[in-house]
Structure formats: structure tokens, C-alpha cells
A and B are shown apart, each in its own frame.
Chain A
Amino acid sequence: MKFGQWLGLIACAAVLLLLWSLRDVVIHLFAAVVLAMALCTTVGVVRERVGCSRPLALLISLAGLVLVVAVAIAAVVPPFVGQFQQLLLQLPVAADKAITLLRQGMDLSSHMIYGQEALHWLRQGMGETSNGGASAVGQSLRSLLGLAGNLGSGLVQLLFVVAVALMIAVQPTAYREVVVLLVPSFYRRRLRQVLLHCGDALSSWMGGVLISSLCVAVLAGIGLSLLGVKLVVANALLAGLLNIIPNVGPTLSTIFPMSVALLASPWKALAVLGLYVVVQHLESYVITPSVMHHQVKLLPGLTLAAQFVFTVLFGPVGLLLALPLAVCLQVVIREVLIHDVLDPWRQQRLTP
């Protein structure tokens, strides 16, 4: 190798190290890109239906999105908040009841998840309810401050992600061309194709997830109301929202309705568990395969592995974004690594 090539290699290593130390920023950038992709998909649909120019379509879709979110908040949040408060108040009672049951024989992993969650909510509940009690004051203050700090930094991060997503959605081609300019000229045309593939995969994945989440929320709501469990809307909404995170999310979403049902009677909790298991399997074996695009399908083992790896690498945000990351990585690995690097390799070795 020549001097220039060595220099390039070292520069690449330095850039990778820098990116590694900035991985928080990178994951937030990826979140913004995913959000921008969702916006662009909506804009594309609007343009197809209405047939107007891009800025107008962007405005229409943004206004529509804001309207939908506002209506959803106005319709769902007040009862949701009321129910959620009730849920929070009931959780300690349910926790007491459940712990005795748990000791009799639930497996260790669900015990761990449950314990952390219940502790978290308990602490928050204590911060809101207890005003007296000298010993609890310092602790609850600390947890309150910590919660406020977390909430603040989370809000700032969310604001950042939304702002960047909006900026990207305004002129997506400009950003794509900048990325394309940064690779060797023989590869630019191909990279543009790969990026377009990634965008397609992401938007079809998001469409699929939207449909399956809606289905899960509706199914869980119907099932819970049939079983006569309280707090139907809150639980159904939670089930739908947490469905975005596979494996972990559905497990988490089972805890709340089960603890509520546990207050009524143990057999009801078991019935809720059965309902959620049925809904979950329906979602993963019937709904998802039929709505997900053929090329976006991920093997279940791959999904779990991706979640584990990205959680270790990026923290909770990584868990939230594990699936979009896996979808993009799948496209990149298939197109770049397998199609462009590994497939021609065999021919090269045979020719000399």
C-alpha cells in the first residue's frame, strides 16, 4: 500500500472513533431521519391524491398531522389521564397482591421487569402524594429533581429530533446529494439507488407497523371490555403504542392490565394474560406477515438480536429505534455488502 492509502485508512479509523464517541448524536440524527421519512411518505401520498406541488403538499400533510394529533389528544388524553391516575393509584395495591403471587412461582425474568417497573411508578406516586414525612422528603425530592431533569433533557432531545426531521423533510434531495457527494465517484450512482431502497423499506415498514399497532389496540380494547377489566382505553392505547417495540413492548404492556385485573380476582389476571398472548401471536403470525411488505420482513431471531445489540450500543433510544435501524441495515447489507462486495469476489478470485 502506498502512503496516501495508509493516510486514508488512518483517517477512516479516526472518523469512526469520532462517530463512536458521538454515538448519542448519531442515534438522534437517525431518529430524525426516520421521522423525516415518515413525513416524506405522507407528503408523497398527499401529492399522489391531490396532485399539488411539494411545498403545498408538505404544508397539507403537516397540518393534517397536527390536526390528527390534536384531535387524538383532545379525545383520548382527558379520560386517559384520569384512568392513568387511577391506574397509578391502584398499582401499589396490585403490586402488594402480585408480589405474594409472584413468590409462588413466576419465572425470574418477568419478575425482574415487573419489580423495576413497579418501583419506578411507586416512587413517582410517592413524590406526588406524600407531602409530610420527614424521612421521605429528601428521597422524593431527589427522585423528583431527577425525574424533572430527565423529562427536561428528554423534551430537548425530542425537540431537536422534530426540528431536524422538519428541516430534512423540507428538502430531502439536498441532503441525499450531500451524502452522495461524500463517496467515490464510481459509487455515487449505486449509493443513490441504495439510499432510495432504504427509504422505501423504511416507509413500507412504518405503514405496516401503523396498521398492526391499530389492530392490536382495537383487539386488546375489545378483549378487555369483553373481560370487564377497568381502564380499557388506557390499556388498549398502551398496548398499541408499545407494539412498536417488538418482544419487549408487548411484555411491558401486559403488566398494567394484569395488575388491574389482579385487583378483581386472580383468574381474571390469567384471562388477561391469555388474551394478550393470543393477540400477540395473532399480530406476529397473521397481521404482520400479511401487511408487511415482502422485503421488509425480519426474522424473529434477527429482531431480538438487533434489539439487544442496539440497546447495548445506544441505550433506551436504541431499543426504541432498533427495528428501523435493523430494516435499514438489512437493505444496506444486502445491497452493498452482499451484492456489491461479496458476489463479485468469487469472480475476481477465479480470473487471475
Chain B
Amino acid sequence: MTLRGLVGLLALVVLGLLAWELRWVLLVLFGAVVLAVALDVPVTWLRRITPMNRPQALVVVVSLLVIGGWQLAELLLPELLEQVQQFTQLIPALLRRLGELAGGVASLSSLEERLTSFATFDKLQPLGGQLLGVAGGAAAGTVQLLLMVLLALLLVLDPRSHQRLVVAATPAHFRALATELLGACRAALGGWLAGMTLSALAVFLLTWAGLAALKVPLALLSGLVCGLLTFVPTIGPTAATLLPLAVALLVSPGLALQVLILRLVLQNGEAFLLTPLLLSRTVNLLPTVALMAQLSLGALLGLPGVLLALPLVVVLQVISQRVLVEQIMDRWL
């Protein structure tokens, strides 16, 4: 091994360690890339059917999104606000209801007593500190989100030159493959996002309709939450079920059972019928791989890792299929 190789190797190791230290930044960057792909799909489609250039198409898409969001918010916000207010009023009632339901268990009622006795003044002080920490975290999260959106817009404006930059950073004999790899990743990610958007929309509409038909309060809010959390498979829908379930429990346990059955049917239909059908042409993910990835990234990176686990797995699958399996392992005779 020559000195040149040694220096290159050392540089790569240092770079890897640096990337590990900066994994939060890289996560934000990856989120920006995912967002950029999500924006790029309609932009490309718009450019194909109209003679617009890219910035114009982007402006059209973003303004359409903003207007659509605004319209949706204006349409839904009063009702939503009312429902949210209703919900915040309902939480103590819900706790009481739960306490009543679990009244037979002596330890639980005493637990509630002790929980209330916990809220004395001297114990509230660390809570205040925690609250400040939460506020700081939320502010940092907002800044990161803004940064992510800005980065995504910049990426969508000129994807070619960013792609050239990445390709130029690879050895000459690898550049053709790198270009192809980026294209494949883009296609897989775009296909996944499009499929998941359709599936989330279907879940949102079906949940809303089902909950409204069952006359559960807060149907819209529950439907929205369930639809949004569909983007985080397996863990998201399960967590999303808790909201309508808790609300329905307030009305009657029978209704809660109906809601549970409705959500189970919808969730399993989405996970085992709709999503595989929508994704079968573009991305082929084994269900366990998705679950394991969520768990591993959750352990490594926390909640943002869980949220971005699926797109990351889609990209990683393409890369390992193209590079690890086809380029290295298949040729290793």
C-alpha cells in the first residue's frame, strides 16, 4: 500500500467519524432531500405537461400547496379549534372516566391520589425547568424544520448541479454507476412518497367517514392525525388509534370497541392490501425490514430517526442492492 492510499484511507476514516458526530445535521439534510423529492415529483409532472421552466413550475407548486393548505385550514380550522378546545376540556373527564373504570383495582385509585399529591410546589420547580427545556427543544425543532424546508427548496430549484456535485466527489471509474444510483434512489423515493401519500389520503378519508358514521366526536381531528401518522408505518397507526379510542371511551365503552374494530380493519387493510398494491411497482420492502429499521434508528437517533426511518430504508435498500450485492458480492467468485 502506497502513502497515497494510506492518506486516503485515513481521510475516509476521519470523514466517517465526523459524519457520525454530525449525524443530526445529516438527518436534517436527509429530511431536506426527502422533502425535495416530494416537491420534485409534482414539479416534474407539471413541466412535462406545460412548457414552463423549473422555477416557474416550483413557484406554481409551492403556491398551490400554500393556497391549498390555507383553504383547508380556513375550512377546517374553526371546527378543529372548537374540537381541540372540546378535547382539552375532555381530558380531565377522560381521566376520571378511566379512574372509574379501573375503580375495582385499588392500587390504581391510590395511584391517582398519589399523582395528585405529587403536584406540590417544591416538586413543580424541576417541572418548570423541564418545561423550559421542552420550549427550547421546540424552538430548536422549528429552526431545524425551517432550515430543512429552505434546503429542500434550494435543492428542487437546481437538482442537476447538486447531483453533479455528488457525482464529482466519486472516483472516475465509479461516476457512471453513481449517476445511475442517484437516479434509482430518486425513483424509489418518489415512488414511495407518491404511494404513501395516496395511502394516507385514503386512510384519512376512510377514518373520517367511519368515525363520522359512528358519531364519534372529534372525527376530523382523529382522521387527520391517523392520515398523517400513516407515513410512519406500524408504529404510527397504532399510536394514532389512541386518540379516537380515548374520545370514544368518553361516550361509552361499546363505542370505543367499535372504533377499535374500525381502526384495526382500516389499518390492516392499509398495511397489507393498499400499500403493497400501490408500492408493488416501485419499492419492494419486506415488512420486518421496515419495523427493524424504525426500531434501530429510533434507538440511534430518537424520534426524528423513527419519522425518517422508512425513506432512509428505501434509499439504503437501493444502495445496498446496487452496490453491495451487484457490484461487490455477485462478482466475488
Q: Are B288's CB and A24's CB within 8 A? A: no
Within 8 A of A (CB), among B1-49: 1, 5, 8-9, 12-13, 16
Shortest distance in angstroms between A129's beta carbon and chain B's nearest beta carbon? 9
B331 contacts across to A, CB distance below 8 A: 185
B13–A10 CB distance below 8 A: yes
Interface centre among B295, B320, B333 (most CB of A within 10 A): B295
- In the complex, whether A112 has a CB less than 8 A from a CB of chain B is no
**A141 contacts B114, CB within 8 Å?**
yes
**Nearest chain A CB to B161's CB is how many angstroms away?**
28
Task: Indicate if the CB atoms of A183 and B329 lie closer than 8 Å.
Answer: yes
When distances are taken between beta carbons in the complex, the residues of chain B under 8 Å from A167 are 286-288, 291
The reply to whether B300 and A6 contact each other, CB–CB distance below 8 Å, is no
Known: A25-B295, A25-B296. A182 touches B12 (CB 8 A): no
Knowing A22-B296, A22-B300, A141-B114, say if A175 contacts B288 (CB, 8 Å): yes
Which of B1, B5, B286, B333 has a CB less than 8 Å from the CB of A175?
A: B286
A3 lies within 8 A of B5 (CB): yes
Q: Does B251 contact A (CB under 8 A)?
A: no
CB-CB contacts below 8 Å: A154-175 with B: 160, 163-164, 167-168, 171, 174-175
* Cα–Cα distance between A28 and B296 once the two chains are bound (Å): 11
Residues of B within 8 A of A244 (CB): none
Residues in B whose Cβ lies below 8 Å from that of A131: 106, 110
**A6 surroundings in chain B (CB, below 8 A):** 1, 5, 9
CB-CB under 8 A from A49, the residues of chain B are none
Question: B288 contacts which chain A residues (CB < 8 A)?
Answer: 32, 164, 167-168, 175
* Among candidates A127, A144, A163, A185, residue contacting B332 with C-beta atoms closer than 8 Å: A185
Given that A131-B110, A167-B291 are contacting pairs, would A21 and B300 also be in contact in the complex, using a CB cutoff of 8 Å? yes
Nearest CB of chain A from residue B222's CB, rounded to whole Å: 23
Task: State how many angstroms separate the Cβ of B239 from the closest Cβ of chain A.
Answer: 11
What is the number of residues of chain A that contact chain B, defined by CB distance less than 8 Å? 38
Q: List B contacts of A3 (CB < 8 A).
A: 1, 5, 8-9
Contact partners of A285 in chain B: CB under 8 A: none
Minimum C-beta distance from B187 to chain A (A): 21
* B171 to A: closest C-beta gap in Å: 10
How many whole Å from A104's CB to the nearest CB in chain B?
37
A24-B332 contact, Cβ under 8 Å, with A10-B9, A164-B288, A175-B288: no
CA of A181 to CA of B333 in the docked complex: distance in angstroms?
A: 13
Q: Is the C-beta of B111 less than 8 angstroms from some C-beta in chain A?
A: yes
Residues of A164-203 at the interface with B, using a CB-CB cut-off of 8 Å, are 164, 167-168, 171, 174-175, 178, 181-186
Within the complex, the shortest CB–CB distance from B88 to chain A, in Å, comes to 25
How large, as a class, is the contact surface on chain B? 20 to 34
Is B299 engaged at the interface, CB distance under 8 Å to the other chain? Answer: yes
Given A127-B107, A141-B114, A175-B288, answer yes or no on A182-B295 (Cβ-Cβ < 8 Å).
no
With A185-B329, A185-B331, A185-B333: A144-B12 Cβ-Cβ less than 8 Å = no
B299 touches A181 (CB 8 A): no
Interchain nearest-CB distance for B17 vs A (Å): 10
Q: Identify which of residues 282-333 in chain B touch chain A, using a CB-to-CB cut-off of 8 Å.
A: 286-289, 291-292, 295-296, 299-300, 320, 324-325, 328-333
* Chain B residues, CB < 8 A from A128: 106-107
CA A29 to CA B291, docked complex, whole Å: 10
From A131, which residue of chain B is reached at the shortest CB distance?
B110
Cβ of A103 < 8 Å from any Cβ of B?
no
Minimum C-beta distance from B36 to chain A (A): 27
Answer whether residue A277 sits at the interface, using C-beta atoms and an 8 A cutoff: no
Cα distance A2–B5 in the bound complex, in angstroms: 8
Cα distance A340–B299 in the bound complex, in angstroms: 36
Instruction: Decide: A186 and B1 in contact? CB cutoff 8 A.
Output: no
Residues of chain A contacted by B296 (CB below 8 angstroms): 22, 25
Are A182 and B110 within 8 A (Cβ)? Answer: no
A74 in the interface (beta carbon within 8 A):
no
- Closest Cβ–Cβ distance, residue B329 to chain A (whole Å): 5
Partner of A14, one of B1, B16, B286, B333: B16
CB distance from A14 to the nearest CB of B (A): 7
Q: In the complex where A3-B9, A6-B5 touch, is A186 in contact with B300 (Cβ < 8 A)? A: no
Distance in angstroms from A9 CB to nearest chain B CB is 10
What is the interface of chain A, defined by CB distance below 8 A to chain B? 1-3, 6-8, 10, 14, 21-22, 24-25, 28-29, 32, 127-128, 131, 137-138, 141, 144-145, 160, 163-164, 167-168, 171, 174-175, 178, 181-186
Extra 15 A-B pairs, beta carbons < 8 Å, given A3-B5, A163-B234: A6-B1, A7-B9, A8-B328, A10-B9, A10-B12, A21-B300, A22-B300, A25-B295, A25-B299, A128-B107, A141-B114, A144-B107, A175-B288, A182-B329, A184-B329
Q: Show 16 A/B contacts (Cβ-Cβ < 8 Å), sorted by A.
A: A3-B8, A3-B9, A6-B1, A14-B16, A22-B296, A25-B292, A25-B295, A32-B288, A131-B106, A137-B114, A138-B114, A167-B286, A167-B288, A171-B286, A181-B325, A182-B324
